[in-house]
């Protein structure tokens, strides 16, 4: 595997996403810290953090990358019918931290989670 560049503490400029590794797919750079400012800048550039507690912060930008355009979202007729029956309640911005904690729970037959304590703190701060 190629050497992964590091974001220096005094220079948090992400490398061009075109320099991301092909193996592992999209690994771009590593850092020691995760901050709201880094996450905001990373997302603006098409980069996201994904790592485990025993790793440095790993920043990724795979190519191709899935992008969902909200203005192009289409709700099918059958789903509209389901929604019109009010089978569930949809809420936003009511329990952000609790949802993050629930998502961080290990899944069946899996030992850990990618939502680290640092990631929880940063995303709650951004929220």
pLDDT, one tens digit per residue, over 50-108 is: 998 888 999 999 988 777 888 998 999 999 999 899 888 878 889 999 999 999 988 88
Q: Which helix (H) or strand (E) holds 28?
A: strand 27-31
Instruction: Return the sign of the alpha-carbon dihedral for residues 101, 105, 111, 115.
Output: negative
Of 19-23, 48-52, 94-98, 109-113, the range with the lowest mean pLDDT is 109-113
Name beta bridge partners: 11: 8
Task: State the total domains in the chain.
Answer: 1
Residue 94: give the domain boundaries.
Answer: 17-126
User: Domain for residue 11, yes or no?
Assistant: no
User: Domain for residue 2, yes or no?
Assistant: no
* 59: number of Cβ within 10 Å: 28
Residue 91's CATH number: 3.30.70.3550
pTM of structure: 0.78
User: Domain for residue 35, yes or no?
Assistant: yes
User: Domain for residue 5, yes or no?
Assistant: no
User: Domain for residue 10, yes or no?
Assistant: no
User: Domain for residue 38, yes or no?
Assistant: yes
């Amino acid at each position: 595997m190629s050497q992964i560049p590091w974001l220096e503490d005094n220079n948090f400029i992400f490398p061009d996403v075109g320099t991301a590794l092909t193996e592992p797919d999209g690994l771009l750079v590593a850092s020691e810290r995760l901050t709201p400012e880094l996450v905001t800048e990373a997302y603006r550039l098409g980069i996201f953090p994904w790592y485990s507690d025993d790793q440095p912060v790993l920043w990724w930008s795979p190519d191709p990358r899935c992008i969902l355009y909200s203005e192009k979202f289409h709700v099918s007729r059958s789903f509209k019918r389901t929604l019109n029956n009010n089978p569930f309640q949809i809420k936003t911005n009511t329990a952000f931290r609790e949802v993050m904690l629930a998502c961080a729970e290990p899944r069946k037959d899996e030992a850990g989670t990618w939502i680290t304590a640092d990631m929880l703190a940063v995303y709650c701060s951004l929220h």
